[in-house]
């Protein structure tokens, strides 16, 4: 099953491309704040260059996510040879549910697929592998921005 949820409206992406102000949620992400405020850990870490416009848009929001408590490290698979990771994005929720993320060819998020519970340990291993290889977001952003 794929659950679709757009991170933002197309108008927000167009504002980003035009270089306009993205609003206060970009300075301190309310969704991330709501999770970290409950003691939950929020993190992300893998990408591949060259960056699409949509991925640049996502990355531009990360400083506000960090302000809200998210931990962001980056592995650029075009710069680092990291083995043992899947070729797709995923999220672990509460270390219990695994969602495979789906994107358009341009990189826009289009939905998430809940994976079977028997895949949990596999994806926890992927997470642990990626966390061991990340560089701080600020270092990576400096190179790509």
The tens digit of pLDDT for each residue in 73-97 reads 888 888 888 888 888 888 888 889 9
Q: How many CA atoms lie within 13 A of 95 on its CB side?
A: 6
**pLDDT band at residue 120 under the 50/70/90 scheme:** very high
Question: Is the predicted pLDDT of residue 102 greater than 60, yes or no?
Answer: yes
Confidence at residue 44, expressed as pLDDT on a 0 to 100 scale: 74
Whether the ω angle into residue 50 lies within 30 degrees of 0, i.e. cis, is yes
Q: What is the pTM of this model?
A: 0.73
How far apart CA 49 and CA 96 sit, in angstroms, is: 30
Question: Is the predicted pLDDT of residue 144 greater than 90, yes or no?
Answer: no
Confidence at residue 78, expressed as pLDDT on a 0 to 100 scale: 82
Those residues whose C-beta lies under 8 Å from the C-beta of residue 90, and which sit 6 or more positions away, are: 98, 99, 100, 101, 115, 123, 126
What's the rounded mean pLDDT across residues 8-37?
Answer: 84
Q: What is the DSSP letter of 82?
A: -
**pLDDT band at residue 121 under the 50/70/90 scheme:** very high
Contact 96, 118 (CB under 8 A): no
Confidence at residue 122, expressed as pLDDT on a 0 to 100 scale: 96
Encoded tokens for 30? 């309310």
Confidence at residue 3, expressed as pLDDT on a 0 to 100 scale: 34
């Amino acid at each position: 099953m794929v659950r679709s949820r757009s991170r933002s409206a197309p108008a927000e992406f167009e504002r980003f491309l035009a270089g306009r102000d993205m609003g206060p949620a970009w300075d301190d992400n309310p969704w991330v704040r709501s999770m970290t405020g409950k003691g939950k850990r929020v993190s992300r870490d893998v990408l591949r260059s060259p960056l699409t416009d949509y991925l640049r848009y996502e990355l531009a929001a990360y400083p506000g996510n960090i302000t809200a408590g998210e931990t962001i490290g980056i592995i650029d698979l075009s710069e680092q040879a990291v083995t043992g990771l899947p070729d797709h994005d995923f999220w672990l929720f509460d270390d219990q549910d695994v969602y495979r993320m789906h994107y358009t060819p341009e990189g826009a998020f289009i939905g998430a697929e809940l994976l079977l519970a028997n895949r949990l340990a596999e994806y926890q291993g992927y997470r642990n592998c990626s966390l061991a290889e990340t560089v701080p977001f600020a270092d990576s952003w400096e190179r790509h921005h």
